[in-house]
A and B are shown apart, each in its own frame.
Chain A
Amino acid sequence: MTQRNNQQIRDLVREDRVHRDLYVNPDVFDLEMDRIWSRAWIFVGHDSQVPNAGDFYATEIGREPVIMVRQTNGDVRVLHNRCAHKGAKLTGRPQGNCKGFRCPYHGWTYKLDGRLAGVPARKGYDNTPFDMKDPRFSLAPVAQADSYRGFVFATLDPNAPPLPEFLDDAAATLDNIADRAPEGEVEVAGPPLRYLHNCNWKMFVENLNDAMHPMVAHASVGNAARRYVAEQPEGTEYPPEAEIIFPFGSSYEFFDKMQVTALPHGHAYMGGELSIHSDYSAVPGYWDAMVKSYGEERTKKILSQNRHNTIFYPSFTAKDAIQAVRVCRPIAVDKTMIESWHFRLKGAPEQMLKRTILYSRLINSNASMVGPDDWDCYTRIQEGLVSDAKVWVDTSRGLGREEAVGDGRRKSFGTSDLSYRNQIQAWLEYMTDEVAA
């Protein structure tokens, strides 16, 4: 595959279908690591994970181990997690605090900004090319790193467009998450939930705007809840979990009405004002705190934005009304780590965070009654695509019924495959380095 030319890559995609190689071929996966995950802006973390100078958080950009680290001047930098000497990863723990980095093997030390600080018994390098000031002997910064409302992204491509250009209108989802805090800022609440998926990374991302599956794949939990309530004495009220669980069983018509909006670079979102989260009951004290900060008109405007899932292709997905995000980290063609992160709205009643956590536990957890059904379906696709009976995967729902809404954005009915096709289009652009006209 690495020998495959652009035409051979284009042959994997038709306007109404994609070839199974996108999901099952390890060579395609390797090429994706080079051409998508090394070039797109990838979510690294949130700057509230590293509040103090020396705080670090280690993660990956595609296959590249990196460290996000807070500088003494308050900046956040993203460095490659590889000793300049023999290549060892500098941190064993995924997070912590340090005055600088010290390689545990030969003791090379680095300042927080990555510059080499010291080498034991340096005389041994006399009259060699070794030079404390040569970047070759310092930790390499990633090509570009930037943050938006505290959400830190980085790219390994020095020629990638600036972050705001990459985010396009998906940025409004991050704005809304932060704006929903009376203090205009969010912070990470607790460690993430990690959930290993036995599927290709694209299946997870595609599913987030797949509005044809909830009423099928997630019917059982709603039915179970209804059966339980039906067995209770008459007049028993539905528990708070119900307003989170039941909307997943919403009708095709409801999801169609939510609409889907495709953005450049493969990004997209469902909803806008109406979503399966728009009918949550009010949390006492929250409205007042918001009005105090923003005034009534702006508060109404902030709370009226309700995007169901925003996809920041390829690595990041967010729910603005829930303040929960999921991060996609591909490991192999059929292995993907999904991390769920949760945010506290600064200045809001703690009850808001409790709802975020309840939501994520009911929907995203490895042990929820929703996530494992998605997990199982992805795994079945991975298993089913082995079949030689057919090699194509269908992407045709709603084809030709999208409407251009300006700035390269397109809209369609909610159960359309528009977002799916939009992701495949971005995939093709990255993989062939050709932007479609």
Chain B
Amino acid sequence: MTAQAQHAAPDLATIEEFLYREADCLDRVDLDAWIQLYTEDGTYWMPVSPDQQSPETEISIFYDDRLLMEIRRRNFGDEWAASMDYDVRCSHLIGNIRYATDGGPDDGWRVQSNFQAAIYYRGETTFYAGHYTHDLVNTPDGLRIRHKRVDLLNCDSAELGSIVIYL
């Protein structure tokens, strides 16, 4: 983190409001608005192991760039896709929001938080929990996400079925 970025660090209330806004996009299943919260080079990553280092040389549950986000948004709800023939409803809770003590982009800030998400899909509610890591940058449009890492508690477990929406 550069001195300048440090100086400009938003207070936690601003960060909190931004993370709530992101969660609200997912709760409303508004992927269009959600994508707009990412930078053009933004990425979303959900590893399969807690200490996974690389999304490129090891498999992941999600690793989307903006392009895949855009394709996913257009695929979402497609009447040709069997998996999309159901209501999807989400409820996210975020807490323990704090600045990371290391890491993050040179021109921004790394923020960590805990999350719990209940996803209603195919008539059942599945409970997910874990840790978020957000790399945030300031842009002329306000805070944006350059990278979000979602570490599920059970990322490597034998209990994960289909996950049809970002957490």
The interface of chain A, by Cβ under 8 A from chain B, is 189-198, 216-217, 219-221, 223-225, 227-228, 239, 241, 337, 340, 342, 344, 350, 353-354, 357-358, 360-361, 364-367, 369, 371-373, 375-377, 379-380
B48 smallest CB distance to A (angstroms): 5
Residue on A with the closest CB to B78?
Answer: A220
B161 within 8 A of A: yes
* Inter-chain contacts of A219 with B (CB < 8 A): 80
B156 within 8 A of A: yes
> By the criterion CB–CB under 8 Å, are B158 and A357 in contact?
no
- Tell me whether chain A's interface is mostly helix, strand or loop, or mixed: helix
B73-90 CB contacts (< 8 Å) to partner A: 74-75, 78, 80-85
What number of B residues sit within 8 Å (CB to CB) of A?
Answer: 36
> By the criterion CB–CB under 8 Å, are A193 and B161 in contact?
no
The interface of chain B, by Cβ under 8 A from chain A, is 46, 48-49, 52, 56-63, 67-68, 70-72, 74-75, 78, 80-85, 122, 156-164
Residue among B46, B49, B81, B164 with most chain A CB within 10 A: B81
Q: When A and B form their complex, what is the total count of cross-chain residue pairs whose Cβ atoms lie within 8 Å?
A: 124
Pairs of residues from A and B, 10 with the lowest C-beta to C-beta distance, nearest first: A190-B58, A224-B74, A220-B81, A220-B78, A372-B162, A224-B75, A376-B82, A372-B83, A220-B80, A376-B83
B120 smallest CB distance to A (angstroms): 16
Q: A220-B78, A220-B81, A228-B71 given as contacts; is B162 within 8 A of A375 (CB)? A: yes
Q: A191-B48, A220-B75 given as contacts; is B61 within 8 A of A196 (CB)? A: no
B122 smallest CB distance to A (angstroms): 8
B69 smallest CB distance to A (angstroms): 10
Q: A193-B59, A357-B56, A357-B58 given as contacts; is B158 within 8 A of A337 (CB)? A: yes
Give Cα A217–Cα B75 distance, bound, in whole angstroms: 13
A44 smallest CB distance to B (angstroms): 17
Give Cα A337–Cα B164 distance, bound, in whole angstroms: 18
